[in-house]
Homo-oligomer: A and B are copies of this chain.
């Protein structure tokens, strides 16, 4: 086990962090890792507010670049999702320094925009997994411990259980991956097991996003798809009749992409870590 001290920088490229979540994460880290082993540095940008966002685009881009390009920081842990990461992509991608490539990035949901764009740039230490704000969920302590155990010790117990050595993988929120397609930030997922999850969407939107994802010629080169949890589904009028699994198997059949079953990821405290690649 790596006993080097690790410095984790927290930034919020999307929505504002609740200070109570940060406090809870500090407490969990202090209890779990003694002797100054883990330092969590919450960037003040996380608490800015500009309408929908944790500060305006300039502030969010600057904070991300500051932390990503800081050689003393080992890992960037995203504060929370919501919406906003895609708005800073064009501003940050050209300014990433070599120190940014070396470090680890952990997040999910809206942060898939940034993870996807960094993956396309060849970043090798990206992962889908719990964020700081998950501390606020009921039972969220488990999610925080899981994220930290992976960031600090690469604990295999944190990993999505179907991950297999030698098999590339990546995980995305369905809506977020769909919104990257056709843009210069679209990741190359050839040969990957693509794990997908969704939250707070009606079924017809999930269906439409999966049309876009599975119709995309490059996505058709994935090894296969696994479906995480689709939670808090918004009622469809008229009823969509089909379930999330029926929808994904339908699109996989049409597109010739193998469907490998469920993935243990989603917008909940059970959300497991999926390293990209």
- A residues in contact (CB < 8 Å) with B: 15, 50-52, 83, 86-87, 89-90, 178-186, 203-204, 207-209, 211-212, 215-218, 236, 238-242, 254
Contacts and interface: CB of A to CB of B under 8 A. Distances in A.
Contact of A239 (B52, B90, B180, B236): B52
B242 A208 contact: no
A182 B217 CA distance: 8
B211 A242 contact: no
A204 B239 contact: no
Contact of A52 (B218, B238, B254): B238
A217 B52 CA distance: 27
Contacts of A185: 215
Contact of A240 (B52, B215, B238, B254): B52
Contacts of A240: 51-52
Given A87-B207, A204-B83, A216 B51 contact: no
Output the residue of A179, A182, A211, A212 with the most chain B CB within 10 A: A182
A184 B182 CA distance: 11
Output the residue of A207, A208, A217 with the most chain B CB within 10 A: A208
